[in-house]
Structure 1
Amino acid sequence: MGHGGDVIAELTTDHREVDDLFKQFSDTPPGSEDRKRLVDALTIELVRHSAAEEEYLYPAVREHLEEGEALADKELADHARVEQLLDDLQQRAPDDLDFDRLAVKLRTEVTAHAEDEENNLFPQLRNGVHSYVLEELGNKVRQAKKTAPTRAHPSAPSTSPANKLLAPGLGMVDRVRDYLSGRGQ
């Protein structure tokens, strides 16, 4: 959950972990409970990652980059699509006909989003934001992931200040539900 380094290193490591979960999913037989377990793990990682980006990264993008407003809005739209797919997947059993189709669509969306961040947004941040700010953002993102929700909440706010106020409460409720159900363990 926390890897160290500046915000770019932290989020890039998250991307590689999600890639690994998608690979595990692909290597698992269709319809198996292991696929549901992997979708749960993907959901936990993606929601934590997204919440942290929405709380700290995208406000910094708006503040520090010339086209920051448009960049942040595009990233938030990507998150909204992913969040809806995660919510749709959580409503389905692994042997449901739509389960694998939704998982493939999720992988496509997430991969495109991560590639766009790594190839476009992160280089702009590296060139346009002081390394001290990137280190501080890395620390804030790591802290945010500790209290972030672990389930998709497509109707929850994704911009400040509402997301910073609600995310820890949603995260606490999600972690209690996860503990009681054994999800993600």
Structure 2
Amino acid sequence: MDALAILIADHNRVRGLFARFNTANDADAVDEMSTLAEQIIEELTVHTSIEETHFYPWVVSISDETKETVSEGIEEHHVVKTLITEIQSLQPDQPEWAAKMTVLIENVEHHAEEEEEELFPKVRSATDADAREALGETLEGAKKELGAPVLADKIDLTLTELKELASDQQIPGRSDMDHDELAATVAPPTA
């Protein structure tokens, strides 16, 4: 799968988690919010790792005009990691916990939008599909090494099952996605 498609699928998956977190954001839903926060943190940890280890170095090697955007992305990752550390040091019933989650969500939404609108178009125009596919394989392998579910874990689900999962997970843009895009985007079903 194309590296950019993988990263966009990650962004959409975490946007769905953000929507579910924001819907549950009240005192009666502390357990649900805590579970969603753990999922968000897991997704972001894997995503930042594969971007910093594989995607960003590759991008800088193919285009000088991406260096500033990549540097900014790395700094935004630093902010995300700091917030994650602070969130993990708090209990979900502490007021600071929900406030830090809100700031985390806002930062990540900004970061993802910036990548999709500024960086990814530059990468798309500076590379061919084969190069992006090759990097996509590397990203999938890195995700698997980090214990994250990968496309192969969900490919056997039917289109209907994937659409249902995408709806449950509030994945944006799900109605326009085909089977493979949905499989790459949804979190795996829970037992």
How high is the TM-score relative to the length of structure 1?
Answer: 0.75
Q: Could you say which residue in structure 2 is the equivalent of 1:59?
A: 57
Structure 1 CA distance, aligned partners of 2:147 and 2:5? 22
Give, in angstroms, the shift of residue 94 of structure 1: 1.1
Q: Could you say which residue in structure 2 is the equivalent of 1:170?
A: none
Give RMSD over aligned pairs. 1.7
Equivalent position SS for 1:13: helix
Give, in angstroms, the shift of residue 97 of structure 1: 1.1
Give, in angstroms, the shift of residue 26 of structure 1: 1.0
- CA shift in 2, pair 1:149/1:78, >3 Å: farther
Structure 1 CA distance, aligned partners of 2:116 and 2:25? 31
Q: Could you say which residue in structure 2 is the equivalent of 1:16?
A: 12
Contact 2:34 2:92 in 1 (8 A): yes
Give, in angstroms, the shift of residue 55 of structure 1: 1.1
Consecutive unaligned residues in structure 2, runs of 5 or more = 149-189
Give, in angstroms, the shift of residue 149 of structure 1: 7.7
**1:76 paired residue among 67, 74, 77:** 74
Q: Could you say which residue in structure 1 is the equivalent of 2:99?
A: 101
How high is the TM-score relative to the length of structure 2?
Answer: 0.73
Output the amino acid matched with 2:10. D
Output the amino acid matched with 2:17. L
- CA shift in 2, pair 1:76/1:149, >3 Å: farther
- Deviations for 1:123-176, whole angstroms, at most 9, x for unmatched residues? 0010001211111111111111122388xxxxxxxxxxxxxxxxxxxxxxxxxx
Q: Could you say which residue in structure 1 is the equivalent of 2:128?
A: 130
Structure 2 CA distance, aligned partners of 1:29 and 1:127? 40
% identical equivalent positions? 28
Consecutive unaligned residues in structure 1, runs of 5 or more = 151-183
Equivalent position SS for 2:26: coil
Structure 2 CA distance, aligned partners of 1:109 and 1:29? 18
- Deviations for 1:76-135, whole angstroms, at most 9, x for unmatched residues? 001000111111111111110101110110011000000000000000010001211111
Structure 2 CA distance, aligned partners of 1:115 and 1:92? 28
Give, in angstroms, the shift of residue 70 of structure 1: 2.1
- Deviations for 1:11-66, whole angstroms, at most 9, x for unmatched residues? 10111100010111111142411111111000000110110111111001110112
